[in-house]
A and B are shown apart, each in its own frame.
Chain A
Amino acid sequence: MGGIRTTGDLVAWMQLARKMKIAEAKQYVADKLGIEVSTLTDEEEMRRLREELGIGTIISVSGSPKGILAKIRISELLGIPINSVELFKSQLS
């Protein structure tokens, strides 16, 4: 689906975390992002939206969240626990 170029990582998170089939996972992510399912693979739209949300972009924007910080935001956006994020948060506290 294009990974962090579009929303492939987000849909993959839902398949892993909630065992969602592809249609359900896409709809869930689209609803969370407030977009149509057809926009999930629109590079132009997702490039802008991903930077706005701070969830990592395929083009490296200086100072923009990526890696664990982006995953913290993805975890909050999608409402799912992510193992690495939970560990990171526990170490912060």
Chain B
Amino acid sequence: MSAKIRTRMGDGELVAMSPSEIREDIAVGTRDAAGKAGIPELTDEEQERLYEIIADPSRIVSVAPGDEVIVTDDGVPGSLYCGQDDSGAGIPMSRGQATLTYERACAADTVSLGHSDYSFKPVKNVISEETNAYYNISMGTTAPFIYGAQPNLGSYYQPDGPVRNPADLLLGGDVKAAQEAQEEAAEKMRQDILFCGRKLNDVGCEGLNLDTSASGGDADFMGTLQVVSELKEEAPGMPVIVGASGEFVLGMHGEVTFNDKQLAGMYPHDQVKVAEEAGVSIYGVAIGTSTNESLAWNVARSVTFTKAAVSAANIPIHVNVGMGVGGVPMCEVPPVDALTRATKSLVELGKADGL
């Protein structure tokens, strides 16, 4: 009888699995990703190496010296002072103190600033406060200092926003009106991001992060790509990072395109190509974690998507590895054993350029 291996489920639950169960989940996980996206499965050797990483008896695992990668962040300094809603530590400190603490106490590769209501729509209303904060803090930071917010198309729909809610229109069977509503919202979103991007560029912004793009579906992704193109024309000195919200661009609209490419249904290896065309500097792939499946299944799936995206990309790929993405369990405090196994696998086997 094989010894059981201490591992996790996708919701963080500690479980014991046999070697054969883990190997089987790796095989099924990579097959799932490959089948969905039409990309290669992990090879037998890669699957066996992934098994070794998952089954490693150490509490924490890591890559070999020399194989380290960059970690970009999306509002981590804010997590020092914000509360549970943002997985924050709730420490009473200023945004500037938090940013420098992250840089100099946590040795972060990049640091960032973001509004507590982390979307461009609310940021527009307080852009002067944001640009003042950015400028002041940027005088003290040494690592790349990135301003981040979400495009968040959903915030433009009623009752939160001005545009008719396409979900309501679809319920009534009015597909055309639902599509038009999404296009109207995408245009408002594009204008807001452009406004904020210009203002931030004026104060020397070292990098703009359009985080969790396409959360509202393909029209969200279209508006994001359009505004990146515009910003790269107007502000070529301000690098733009785009992070995804999931491995699959939902076809909420179904027919919108970017450079004549249909966006609905795109998987990471296609997403990164349109991101490149738009002028994105770093693309963050996001692969959802299934809470019902094991760590082995989730990591195998994430590595498979990542490997294909990195292979297709000419720009750096940073994999989202927060709670619930990139094979990391979906729980408030991701266990470090699972987190490090996911990140090691994504770098060693997925060939990620960063996290």
Contacts and interface: CB of A to CB of B under 8 A. Distances in A.
Given A15-B281, A82-B206, A86-B237, A8 B139 contact: no
B314 A4 contact: no
Given A15-B281, A86-B237, A4 B70 contact: no
Main secondary structure of the interface of B (DSSP, over half): loop
Contacts of A82: 206
Nearest to B276: A19
A49 interface: no
Contacts, number: 122
B274 to A, nearest CB: 15
A86 to B, nearest CB: 6
B65 interface: yes
Contacts of B354: 12, 15, 22
Contacts of B104: 4, 58, 60
Nearest to B111: A3
Interface stretch (B170-178, B197-205, B218-226): B197-205
B144 A13 contact: yes
B311 to A, nearest CB: 11
B142 A71 contact: yes
Interface in A27-44: 37-38, 41
Q: How large is the interface on B (under 10, 10 to 19, 20 to 34, 35 or more residues)?
A: 35 or more
A76 interface: no
B110 interface: yes
Contacts of A70: 142
Contact of B107 (A8, A22, A66): A8
Tell which of A2, A17, A83, A88 has the most Cβ of chain B within 10 Å. Answer: A83
Interface size bracket, A side: 35 or more
B145 to A, nearest CB: 7
Given A3-B107, A4-B103, A87-B204, A16 B282 contact: yes
A50 to B, nearest CB: 10
B108 to A, nearest CB: 5
A8 B110 CA distance: 8
A58 to B, nearest CB: 6
For A37, A55, A66, the residue with the greatest tally of chain B CB atoms inside 10 Å of its CB is A66
Contact of A74 (B72, B103, B140, B142): B142
A47 to B, nearest CB: 12
Task: Name the prevailing secondary structure of the A interface residues.
Answer: helix
A7 B106 CA distance: 14
A81 B141 CA distance: 16
A54 B239 CA distance: 24
Contacts of A83: 201, 204-206, 237-238
A21 B316 contact: yes
Interface string B112-146: 00000000000000000000000000111111110
B211 interface: no
- In this complex, which of B108, B143, B239 has the most chain A Cβ atoms within 10 angstroms of its Cβ? B143
B282 A15 contact: yes
Contacts of A3: 103, 106-109, 143
B239 A17 contact: yes
Interface of B: 65-66, 68-72, 103-104, 106-110, 138-145, 201, 203-207, 237-239, 241, 281-282, 313-316, 352-354
23 contacts: A1-B68, A2-B68, A2-B107, A2-B109, A3-B107, A4-B103, A8-B143, A12-B109, A12-B110, A16-B207, A16-B241, A21-B313, A67-B140, A67-B142, A68-B138, A68-B139, A71-B142, A83-B201, A83-B237, A84-B138, A84-B145, A86-B204, A87-B204
Interface of A: 1-6, 8-9, 11-13, 15-17, 19-22, 25, 37-38, 41, 55-56, 58, 60, 66-68, 70-71, 74, 81-88
